[in-house]
Amino acid sequence: MKTKNFILLIALMSVLQQSIIGQIKTVKIGTQVWTAENLDVSKFRNGDLIPEAKTEEEWTRAGINKQPAWCYYNNEAANGSKYGKLYNWYAVSDPRGLAPAGYHIPSDAEWTQLTDFLGSDAGTKMKSANGWGVMENIPCPNCKDWNEEYRKKVPCHTCKDTRSSGKKLVSKGNGNNSSGFTGLPGGVRSSSGSFDNVGEYGAWWSSTEYDTGDAWGRYLLYYGGFVSRHDDNKPRGFSVRCLRD
């Protein structure tokens, strides 16, 4: 039994090898070495600052002008500590280099190499073991027990008749992270600057254009064990992972 367990351990190590090189945490998956965390830099490789776009106007203008930009989800630095930054594709493709020295933004083909290696349930293997779920309304504590007739007579001034005091993440669709990729549901930023779907899905850019307006990306979703491949508008804000050269 000990010999069998040892062989299984060696086999696992051949697939999953995590290390920290400098300040970059990496994981070896097949023959590729990926960064094991979302990118969180505010400068290009040459030292130039990447503009931060906080307002919807700033984000939209960067997209229209085809200029690089980054943000935190909901413009909250705490989200950056957890999910990294969101970048538009113009930051990804900028010749000054978004990836740190010795790394590059993966192409569409390199993403496909990863998912082909992991197989049909690649998403389950890539998703983190916690943090995934569905955002649901929290019932307003003032009016949650009111019946329909009473609600019609008395408006709730606590929740302004929305019947909700906020939202919470209900755990659902976590992965097993057996690949070590540690994919997190960092959400996205739309071309118009709105934020969507944190906790429910994560999206990552590739370096490959689809056409003049779109580029290829990958999605992990709370409701499935697959990896979704889509072409998306370049002004959108996605997470970024890097591959060792």
Q: Which residue has the tokens 């998403």?
A: 123
Give the pLDDT confidence of 11-65 residue by residue, as tens digits.
344 344 444 445 889 999 999 999 999 999 999 999 999 999 999 999 999 999 9
Point out the residues of the chain with pLDDT beneath 50: 1, 3-4, 6-21
Give the pLDDT confidence of 61-83 residue by residue, as tens digits.
999 999 999 999 999 999 999 99
Which pLDDT score, from 0 to 100, does residue 160 have?
A: 84
Prediction pTM value = 0.83
Q: Is 93 exposed, middle or buried (0-12, 13-18, 19+ CB in 10 A)?
A: middle
3-class secondary structure for the chain? CHHHHHHHHHHHHHHEEEEEECCEEEEEECCEEEECCCCCCCECCCCCECCECCCHHHHHHHHHCCCCCEECHHHCHHHHHHHCCEECHHHHCCCCCCCCCCEECCCHHHHHHHHHHHCCCHHHHHECCCCCEEEEEEECCCCCCCCHHHHHHCCCCCCCCCCEEEEEEEECCCCCCCCCCCECCCEEECCCCCEECCCCEEEEEEEEECCCCEEEEEEEECCCCCEEEEEEECCCEEECCCEEC
Task: Calculate the CA dihedral of residues 114, 117, 122, 124 and round it to 10 degrees.
Answer: -110
Contact 173, 221 (CB under 8 A): yes
Tokens of 177: 């992270």
